[in-house]
Structures are given as structure tokens and as C-alpha cells.
Structure 1
Amino acid sequence: MSTQTAEASMQYLSFIIAGEEYALGILQVKEIIEYDTVTRVPGVPVWVRGVFNLRGSVVPVVDLSVKLGMPPSTLTRWSCIVVVEVKLGQERIVLGLLSDAIGQVIELEPGAVVPPPAFGTPIHGDYLLGMGRVGTGKKFVLLLDIDKVLSSQEVLAAGALRPPADSSSSTS
């Protein structure tokens, strides 16, 4: 008779950035779309790749590679955008995260998640929820806390992006 309950395990979507496997809680992921038309917007932070149209909404695309301090992502046929909701106070903002490729949906028991080491990870430790032990336990996936990766001010700046054609302040 097993006393383990389903509430203990969590599902994550894994994806590749700069050759490393990262994952987000599956409940934050809204959809995955093929990288297509992204419009560059002048004057945005270097980690914002641009914006795209998602069923009539303007959605900023964040190049996580740049945001995490690595070189910009190179677009390939496997590049895609992971559409997520990021918490901003009591609000949720929709953003697109550029990834090099999608991995898989993984299920992790609480015992399979360990704290990140204080050294050796390519990104700031505060950005990680932990490291998930995958499969036989020899391989780890870095579990991102996407709400911490982007600060409130950064999310506000990215969420306020509009393509230049939306500007209606000049009337002559």
C-alpha cells in the first residue's frame, strides 16, 4: 500500500538554451509556437528580441540566452517561442521566451529536486528553483523561476512594448 500522493510530483516543460536544458513549471506555460515573424522594436533592452502577434495581442519575445548572460540565440529550424505568464504583483503578464529547441514534459517527485549548487551554474542562483534529477539521476535539468528571472520593472517595460505603428501621439 503506497502512501505517496500525486500532489507531491510536479510537471515541467524542458527546453534548450545555449546547449543547456532548462525547465519551467508546466502550469506557467500557455503554449509553444514556431518562431516566425518577430518585429524588432527600437530602444528596448538587448534581451528583448522584439514582439509578435498572438491572436491580436502584442506579445514581447525575451531571448533568455541574453537575459541569462550568454550570447544571443541563433535561430534554427528548431527555434520556438514558449508563451508563458509571468507574475507581476497581482497581475499576470504574457511573454514569449525564445528557446533553441523544446525538450519534453518531465515529471519530478519532490525528492528528485535538489538545491542548485552555489557555483558552476551558468546563471544567477536566484533564478533557479533547483535542479531536477531526470531519468536514472545522472542528468540534471535546471528549473527556472521565471518570475524572478524578470524583475517587476523589466516585465513592465517588456509588457508595455508596442510596435512603432501603434504610436498615435503625433497629429499634424
Structure 2
Amino acid sequence: MSDLAAKRGAVPAAKKALFLVFHIGSERFALKATEVAEVLPRLPLKPIAHAPLWVAGIFAHRGALVPVIDLSALTFGTSAQARTSTRLVLVNYQPQPWSEARRLGLILEQATDTLRCDPAEFQPYGLDNQQAPYLGPVREDAQGLMQWISVADLLTAEVRALLFSAELSL
């Protein structure tokens, strides 16, 4: 392949990003793939006493304890269905650019597809949902609307203090 052909092929891809697509019920959502550390099958979890219902528990992964939240329960109050396509997705949770990134597990339904698109295709939807600041812009395609989830905005300060050490609960 010539240098010119390589540059031509790289220009459109430079604007595009890879997203992990998943469902909550019949609704589609996406996580930016750069925030995803690993996709695992659903695993047994140890519950955390007095945690919000959407905190699914913790598990040991490569020598570290990882807290896990059920994104379906967080978003719509209903636990994720136990499907063969339900995954435990480890994300790099970093609520502030200066804070250390930590592993956070997300239980996601039908987390088996990816999408490569220009992030600018996701547009604000006009609502300021302060109860769910992690719900980002939406993208329309032939299958309907898909909403971008912001990993950094998933947890409140109180839940960060519960799940992680005090240094993250700024």
C-alpha cells in the first residue's frame, strides 16, 4: 500500500470512534470503547450491605476488588435480565481528569455489538436530566435512537465514597 493510499484511508477513520453497543430493555445505549477495559461473562458477585439496589456487588479480578453496578437498575429501576448476552463490562472510571482511574464493573444486557462512527453524530436531546447526568447525547440511525453513556458521570459523590477509597470522593 502506498503512503498516499494509507493517508487517505486514515483520514476518515481519525474522526471515527468505536463504541460498545448494549441494551437496557428495548433501548440502545453506547459506551466509548476507550473507556472499556475488558468484557467478561456475567460472574457471581458478593453483595454490599446497605448499598443502593443498583450496586450489584463486588468481585475479585486479577488481585483487586472491583465494585459492580447494574446499569439497568440504575437507569430504569429494573435489574438486568440474565441473558447469555448479558455481560460484566469493566470500565476505566475516572470522575475527574486529575484523579486516578479505577476499575468499575457494569452489568450490561446484550453487550455484544460495536459501532464505529463520528462522535459528532451524537447530538444533545434537549433535556437536562440532573437525576441521570451520565445519560449523554443521542444518535439516530435506521434502528432508532441510541444514547451515549458517560462513564465519568455514573456515580454520585456518596456512591463513590461507598465503592472506592476516600481520595476519589472529591
TM-score w.r.t. length of structure 2:
0.78
Q: CA shift at 1:37, angstroms? A: 1.6
Q: 2:154 corresponds to which residue?
A: 149
Q: How does 1:68-79 map to 2 (within 5 A)?
A: 68-79=75-86
Q: C-alpha separation between the residues in 2 aligned to 1:128 and 1:70? A: 15
Q: C-alpha separation between the residues in 2 aligned to 1:52 and 1:149? A: 19
Q: C-alpha separation between the residues in 2 aligned to 1:24 and 1:124? A: 19
Is the 8 Å Cα contact of residues 70 and 79 (structure 2) preserved in structure 1? yes
Q: How does 1:11-160 map to 2 (within 5 A)?
A: 11-89=18-96, 90-118=99-127, 126-134=133-141, 137=142, 139-160=144-165
Unaligned residue ranges in structure 1 (runs of 5+): 161-172
Is the 8 Å Cα contact of residues 15 and 100 (structure 1) preserved in structure 2? yes
For the structure 1 residues 153 and 140, does the alpha-carbon distance in structure 2 shift closer, same or farther, using more than 3 Å as the test?
same
Identity fraction in percent: 21
Q: CA shift at 1:157, angstroms? A: 1.5
**Which range moved further: 35-44 or 151-160?**
151-160
For the structure 1 residues 88 and 124, does the alpha-carbon distance in structure 2 shift closer, same or farther, using more than 3 Å as the test?
closer
Structure 2 letter corresponding to 1:17: I
Q: Please list the CA deviations of residues 26-51 of structure 1 after superposition, one character each: whole Å capped at 9, or x if unmatched.
A: 00000110112211122222111111
Structure 2 letter corresponding to 1:30: A
* SS of match in other structure, 1:154: helix
Compare the two structures and name the one with the higher helix fraction: 2
Structure 1 letter corresponding to 2:108: S
Q: C-alpha separation between the residues in 1 aligned to 2:156 and 2:100? A: 14
Is the 8 Å Cα contact of residues 95 and 153 (structure 2) preserved in structure 1? no
Q: Please list the CA deviations of residues 78-103 of structure 1 after superposition, one character each: whole Å capped at 9, or x if unmatched.
A: 22101001113322121100112213
TM-score w.r.t. length of structure 1:
0.77
